[in-house]
Amino acid sequence: PAGGRDTRRLTAFIRGHRMFKVVGIDPGLAATGIGIVSGRGVAVDGYSFGCIHTSKSTRLSHRLDHIFSRLMQVFTAEAPDLVMVEDVFSLKEYPKSGITLGQVSGVVLLAAARTGLSAVQIPVREAKQALTGNGNASKAQLEAAVRRLLGQDRGDTQSSAG
């Protein structure tokens, strides 16, 4: 699968760089999550996170434009070595959500390309498996694993998916 190939590419990338900065994107129309991690090898030296919010009362084209514009600013300011995007999935019960996620993911990939950055799409199950050892981990388990990796107990949280 493409996701497995991207995960192997990411692992090789991190091992091959002394210093690295990765921007991770959790695409969402109401809130697109952004995480920035920098470090050496597999050691994290610094991180930050946030969200790009859009309003339901705004037309779709303007919401996508806002996400694109903010991502262009972030990518230009941060100059990461790699952009990781959560791969799009669709639930049978909510097919329109999958289409919307695809539109937002396209905007993310376009912003990465326009700023000359490499981007990979990672299936959520692979990210969960890598971070928690369980591809079906809950949001709480995932948050706890990330906090352990970053050496944080509790604090601010940002979620792009309710």
What is the three-state SS of 12-31? HHHHHCCCEEEEEEECCCCE
Alpha-carbon gap, residue 32 to 13, rounded angstroms: 25
| pLDDT for the residue 7 | 60
Closest CA to 119 of 17, 24, 31, 39: 24
17, pLDDT greater than 70:
no
135 secondary structure, DSSP code: T
Residue 158 or 20, more confident: 20
The whole-model pTM stands at 0.80
pLDDT on residue 159: 46
| Residue 92 pLDDT level (bands cut at 50, 70, 90) | confident
Could you tell me if 82 and 117 are in contact, meaning their C-beta atoms sit under 8 angstroms apart?
yes
Alpha helices in 22-123, H assignment, sequence order: 60-78, 95-114
Over 70: is that where the pLDDT of 43 sits?
Answer: yes
pLDDT at 67: 98
